[in-house]
Homo-oligomer: A and B are copies of this chain.
Amino acid sequence: MRASFRALKEMDVAARSGLVASSFDGLGIEGLVVSKAVNIRWLSGFTGSNGNLLLTADASILVTDGRYEEQAAMELAAAGVHAQVEISRQPWAPLKTAVGSLKRLGIESHHLTVDRLAALASAFPSAELVSVGDVIDRQRQTKDSGEQSRLELAAAIADEALRLTAPNILAGGGMSERSFARDLENHMFDLGADGISFDTIVASGPNSARPHARPSGRTISPGDLVVVDFGAAIEGYGSDITRTFVCGAEPTAEQSDLYQSVRQAQAAGVAVVRDGVEQLEVDRACRDFLKSRNLGEAFVHGTGHGIGLEIHEQPILSVHSVGILLANQVVTVEPGAYLPGFGGVRVEDSVVVTRTGCTPITLSPKGLVPTWQSSQPTT
């Protein structure tokens, strides 16, 4: 495997709070209540399921409950973060003193619920609550070298798992979708993944026409199109790759035509990716190509998304995209075409945006019946 745990680079987690706090003046706030779990993880290393983080210009206070007392201390220390930790069943009470002097307090309005906003307003009646939306999500878009090395390792693990399992599926040997998904996942764990990055998709035959099908007990049969969409996670950073195969038979002309259209659309999209390009252009490149093959209607989803601590994060590449791509963002390019009754094809790579183009981190060979180089080292 080309990437390894030894190659994981350090992440400067402690520096991130300062980055966010430096945006406070522009946002017109003096503090920010971070409620979205992955944003708390990004800022502090804490991975518990319950917590809120108050960030001010000079302090950082994590409130969580008793289940996470020991874990929070360990994770913050491991991340090199010096935040105050308060253990309480009441999310806002321990913040009373710190918030007392603040006039304008930001909230993650894209994540905070209407009810929790009401509770927060009631706990801090003298502070004006300001919707700052996804300001941290946007700061998470560009990945430092430590984050990139985790995404690369996760992608390499997924590639290797596919190399180890693909012969079984390509032989078309009567395996169920679910069994194949589990084989893939088991290999990823054996290779050192902390987890899977999302529910593995193995969709065969008619199921392949549903972009988000879940693996079923259906037996994969010779001649089936099989869409395999999966990823590994390393310290929360998740990879994402899709390949489409034909199993146990020569592809038909119709299958090959559909595949080539999607494959070329995907290449057209990847070719557009570089620092400074409009995100919309990536979607347009894929979509226009599929339209030219009369497959515009069959491409029923967006073209791609950022990957990181969330498997779908900004930037989202679709017909609705606004904004440009930036170097060190890591995004997927994954057009597909789905013909109900016939089947579907999707091809997806994850790429790191660079100044002059992009660097794919998913390297599995493409093709309906791809060939892995036997010389590829296995470790």
- Residues of A whose CB lies within 8 Å of any CB of B are 48-49, 65-71, 89, 107, 109-115, 117-118, 131, 133, 178, 182, 186, 189, 195, 199, 209-213, 300-301, 318-320, 338, 340
A67-B300, A109-B113, A112-B114 are known contacts; what are 18 more A-B pairs with Cβ within 8 Å?
A: A48-B212, A65-B300, A67-B210, A70-B209, A70-B210, A70-B340, A71-B212, A89-B320, A109-B114, A110-B114, A112-B113, A113-B113, A113-B114, A114-B131, A118-B131, A178-B189, A182-B186, A195-B199
**Least CB separation from A198: chain B residue:** B49
A117 to B133, CA, bound (A): 13
Q: Decide if B115 touches A113 in the complex (CB within 8 Å).
A: no
14 contacts between A and B (CB under 8 A): A66-B301, A67-B210, A67-B211, A67-B300, A70-B210, A71-B212, A89-B319, A109-B118, A112-B113, A113-B114, A114-B131, A118-B131, A182-B186, A195-B199
Residue in chain B with minimal CB distance to A134: B115
Please determine whether B115 and A68 come into contact, CB atoms closer than 8 angstroms.
no
Residue numbers in B under 8 Å from A48 (CB-CB):
212
A74: nearest chain-B partner, CB-CB:
B210
The CA-CA distance from A209 to B65 in the complex, in Å, is 15
Question: Which residues of chain B are within 8 angstroms of A65 by Cβ–Cβ distance?
Answer: 300-301
Q: How far is the CA of A210 from the CA of B301 in the complex (A)?
A: 41
- Please tell me which one of the listed residues B71, B112, B300 contacts residue A213 in the complex, with CB atoms under 8 A apart: B71
Which B residues are in CB contact (< 8 Å) with A112?
A: 113-114
* Contact residues in B for A182 (Cβ distance below 8 Å): 186, 189
Residues of B close to A210: CB separation below 8 A = 67, 70-71
Across the interface, name the chain B residue whose C-beta is closest to A186. Answer: B182
The answer to whether B109 and A131 have CB atoms under 8 Å apart is no
Whether A69 lies near B300 (C-beta < 8 A) is yes
Q: Which residues of B contact A69 (CB under 8 A)?
A: 300
Q: CB within 8 A of A115: which of B109, B186, B199?
A: B109
Partner of A300 from the list B66, B178, B195, B318 (CB cut-off 8 Å) is B66
CB-defined contacts of A118 to chain B, threshold 8 Å: 109, 131
